[in-house]
Structures are given as C-alpha cells and as structure tokens.
A = this chain, B = another copy of it.
Amino acid sequence: MDKFWNEYPVIKDDLEEVITIMRKNVKCKEKLVENAILELINSGGKLLRPAFLIIAARFGNFNKEELYPLAAVIEMLHMATLVHDDIIDDSTLRRGIETIQAKHGKNYAVYIGDFLFCRCFKILSEHSSLKSINVDSNVMSRICMGEIEQFSSKYNQQVSVNKYLKRISSKTAELFSLSFYSGAVESGCSDKLCRDLSKIGHNIGMAFQIIDDILDYTGDELLVGKSLGNDIKQGIYTLPLIYVLKNENSRLSSILAKNAFCEQDLNDIIKIVKDFGGIEKSRALAERYTKRAFNIINTLPNGESKTILLKVTEDLLVRFY
C-alpha cells in the first residue's frame, strides 16, 4: 500500500479490503497470469480511483459489502488499460517494476488485459446494476477512443491544446469522474450531489494527467517510477510541448521533424520546452482545474468526507505548484 494513505487510516483500511477482493478475483488456473496481475496489485499504485469511489460513497449511505467490489472493479479496469497501454507505449517500467509486456511479452499482455476486463464485468454483474454496467462500458469505450486518438496523433506537430484536453478527458478524467459517480450513485446520493462529485472527479483527473505529463519533462526517474522523456520518445506530444509549439519555435519544430530522437535530441527538446515556459503554462492550467475542483468541494455538505476529500486533493495536486 502506498504511504500516501498513511494519514487517512479510515480510507487505508477500506483500501486493504479492496486489495483483498482484487486478489480473490484474479485467481485463475494459468498461474503466470495470476502472478503477473498479483505483482501489479502489489507494486503499490496509489489506488486513487477506488479511494475516490469510497470517499464519494461516504457522502451517502456507505455500505461496505456493496461498495468494496465496485472499488475493486474500478482499479481493475484501470489496471487492464495500463497493461494494454504499456504494449502501445513499449514501456519497460511501471511503478518502478518491469511491465507485463516487457517481462512476459506483448502477447501475454494482450490476454492479461482482456482477462482483467472479463473479470470486471463478472463482478459488476454480481454487485451492480444494468444501468451501472451501461455507464461503465461507455466510459471504457471513450477511454479506448482517447488512447486511439493519442496513438493516431503521434509525431503530429499540429495537435492543438483543445485536442489534447479532449484526449486527456477521455483517457484519464472520465475514469476519475466515473469513480466519484459510481460511489455516489451506489450509496444513494442525490442527483445534484452525484453530478457535483462527478465534476470534481473530472477536474481532479484533468489536473492529475497534466501533472503526470509535466513529470515526463521534470520528474525524477526513481521517484516517478518510469523513464524520463518517454512520451517524447514515443512521439506523444503533451501539453508542455504543445504550448511551446504554438508559439512557432522553429528549433523545436526542426528537431521534432526527425520523427525519431536520440538522447541528445530528447535533452534538447526538454530544455527548449523548459526555457520557453511550457512547464509553467502547463502547471498554471493544472492549477486552474485544481481550483475548479476545490470550488465544488467547498459547496459539498460538511463532515468527515469533505475534510478527507479536501486534504487528499491538496496532497495529490497542490504540492506540485
């Protein structure tokens, strides 16, 4: 369990139960598959999505038995997308450990992702409603679309800020939003509260993804758990770079025109993006999304859940500004 939750003993206890449910649900007769998934579970991701589901659910009638399986599903859906994303990105490291595709090959990674998807819908069919499954499968479709758009836009210098924002909304913010929404709906929150929590999830997700993209330029490899400049190497142009490209930086454009980058190119690209303010502008936008989240959180009913949500959001996002 990530030390992030040490300050939130209530949520930490909930998440321990969620992990137990995940472990139980990935049991299967192919031990390589089971062990690969267990390793991913044990690698200590922050479990943000199930945590947010639980925090949202605590605004309503929190029923552990009903909520924990749904929290497990939201993390397993996320894991399935990670396993498949790592195939596309050719990533070798995830959370500081070797990715499934690097360790077992792309082929296993395809089926391990598929298997996780199947188990998610199995759990949903046992603990959820047809309406929730409908919402979940729509969100998953949109995540696919976001990933495909990102892949189709590789090495494309024309990607606009707007297109980037739509992409990260699909591929990241949707699942954050769904986490809040599922928790709220299943614990019987009012429509207004469900909508507000869902919007908070969207804004946190947007800020979170922008920060993650900034870390590809500024992060410490050991701290971030994946290699620096990985996005650029793959031709994935994110917000810091898009901002600098917008101002017609001809040196940057000409390096990018190579469509394949050596170490020196990567260092040059990162330096140009930093020198021309790409990081600051991106940070400012992440901050705007964070503020929007706080503005809605502040309107929520007072109580322990609100206090936790305020503090988690601050811990997660504010320390980067």
A residues whose Cβ falls under 8 Å from a Cβ of B:
28-30, 32-33, 84, 87-88, 106-108, 110-111, 113-115, 117-119, 121-122, 124-126, 128-131, 133-134, 136-138, 140-141, 144-145, 147-149, 151-152
Contact = CB atoms under 8 A, between A and B. Distances in A.
A87 B115 contact: no
Mostly, the A contact residues are: helix
Given A87-B107, A88-B107, A122-B137, 7 more contacts: A33-B145, A84-B114, A107-B151, A110-B113, A118-B144, A125-B131, A125-B133
A149 B30 contact: yes
A137 B121 contact: yes
Contacts of A148: 30, 32-33, 108, 111, 115
A131 B129 CA distance: 11
A98 B141 CA distance: 25
Nearest to A107: B88
B115 A144 contact: yes
Given A84-B110, A126-B134, A28 B145 contact: yes
Contacts of A151: 107-108, 111
B117 A117 contact: yes
